[in-house]
Amino acid sequence: MSDLSPFHLAIPVKDLDETLAFYEELLQCSRGRESGDWVDLNFLGHQLVLHRVERAARDDSDTNPVDGEHVPVPHFGVVLDWDVFESLTERLATQKCDFVIPPTTRFEGRVGEQRTCFLKDPSGNCLEFKTFRQPDRLFATDRDAYQ
């Protein structure tokens, strides 16, 4: 997957300082350009921009069932190498991260077997980190495996 281009994603945050602490300290993202109302972050090689906005809290009831879990919608994240995922989730657990869905294996023994976890930043944006047993199955089309 080394030939992939980095994505750019801008997300709303209520408290820029609190949310920056989450990304910089917990997830170890480095800071790029910034102004008083937004900050660019290096999110595992991708450009994540935190934009300060005034808004109501997100509705936690939006989920979609996936392999026995209630997956929050919307969410964003990255697909990591297996060892990087394991290292990250171990570090998050050591730091007493409050997972929305703790590290788990999904579609075990089937096409698209993966490890995944979900957490929220202080502004309610939901993140997913995942890894695939067979990375070349990222876009597997065996629809029967997911029924």
Predicted local confidence at residue 81, as pLDDT: 95
Q: Does residue 109 form part of some domain?
A: yes
Instruction: Indicate the pLDDT class of residue 57, thresholds 50, 70 and 90.
Output: low
Report the CATH number at residue 34: 3.10.180.10
Q: Does residue 1 form part of some domain?
A: no
Which DSSP letter does residue 128 get?
E
Predicted local confidence at residue 60, as pLDDT: 66
Q: Domain count of the chain?
A: 1
Smallest Cα–Cα separation from 124: which of 44, 60, 42, 30? 60
Predicted local confidence at residue 145, as pLDDT: 52
- pLDDT of 139 higher than 80: yes
Model pLDDT for residues 78-117, shown as the tens digit of each residue: 999 999 999 999 999 999 999 999 999 998 988 889 999 9
Q: Does residue 135 form part of some domain?
A: yes
pTM of this structure: 0.87
Model pLDDT for residues 99-109, shown as the tens digit of each residue: 999 999 998 98
Q: Does residue 3 form part of some domain?
A: no
Predicted local confidence at residue 112, as pLDDT: 84
Q: Does residue 84 form part of some domain?
A: yes
Predicted local confidence at residue 58, as pLDDT: 64
> What does pLDDT average to over the chain?
89
Q: Does residue 33 form part of some domain?
A: yes
Q: Does residue 59 form part of some domain?
A: no
Residue-wise burial string across 117-135, b where 16 or more C-beta atoms lie within 10 A, e elsewhere: bbbbbebbbbbbbbbbbee
User: What residue numbers bound the domain in which 121 lies?
Assistant: 8-54+64-146
